[in-house]
Amino acid sequence: MSHIRGMDTHPEVVFRKWLFADGFRYSLGNKIIPGHPDLWMSKYNVAIFIHGCFWHRHNECKYAYTPKTRVDFWNDKFKKNVSRDKNVRMELKNRGIRMLVVWECTIKKMERSAEYREGVLYETERFIKDTLEYKEV
Ligand SMILES: [Zn+2]
């Protein structure tokens, strides 16, 4: 959803720089792969989505709060986003494309702690080189 996940938002930029520094290459703004992933790694057949916790309703995350006003409006919007994400996941699965979701709060935490960052990058890179079909960090 281009109005939600705009190009070059901060968390996306920092995350992809870490991957780049570790030698991974990707393309940006792919419009052919379902869901238009933020990063596309053709070499590994991996589509990476950087998800904002608020818009994509990260489970049990403090950033995925519901605003106090216009509750119906927000709930309707959230429901649409969540069902869209589910459809994207199904579509990728059907096409044999592997999917990695990186939550925004994970990136924030990675910025605060080098140890945590190394752990997540290790997990991420293991997933990229593996054959698993889906992962969230
Ligand atoms: Zn979150």
Give the domain CATH number at 59.
3.40.960.10
Which pLDDT value is given to residue 4?
53
Residue 1 banded pLDDT, cuts 50, 70, 90: very low
Decide if 101 is inside a domain. yes
Decide if 32 is inside a domain. yes
User: Which residues span the domain enclosing 94?
Assistant: 10-110
Q: How many whole angstroms from 52 Cα to the centroid of ligand 1?
A: 7
Query: What is the number of structural domains in the chain?
Result: 1
Kindly list the protein residues that place their beta carbon closer than 5 angstroms to ligand 1, a single-atom ion.
53, 58, 61, 63, 103, 105
Residue 29 banded pLDDT, cuts 50, 70, 90: confident
Q: How many whole angstroms from 60 Cα to the centroid of ligand 1?
A: 8
β-pairing verdict for 46-51 and 98-103: parallel
Decide if 83 is inside a domain. yes
Q: What is the mean pLDDT of residues 98-117?
A: 97
Decide if 127 is inside a domain. no
Decide if 120 is inside a domain. no
70-86 confidence digits (pLDDT tens): 999 999 999 999 999 99
Which pLDDT value is given to residue 2?
43
Distance between CA atoms of residues 92 and 95, nearest Å: 5
DSSP reduced 3-state for 47 = strand
Q: How many whole angstroms from 13 Cα to the centroid of ligand 1?
A: 17
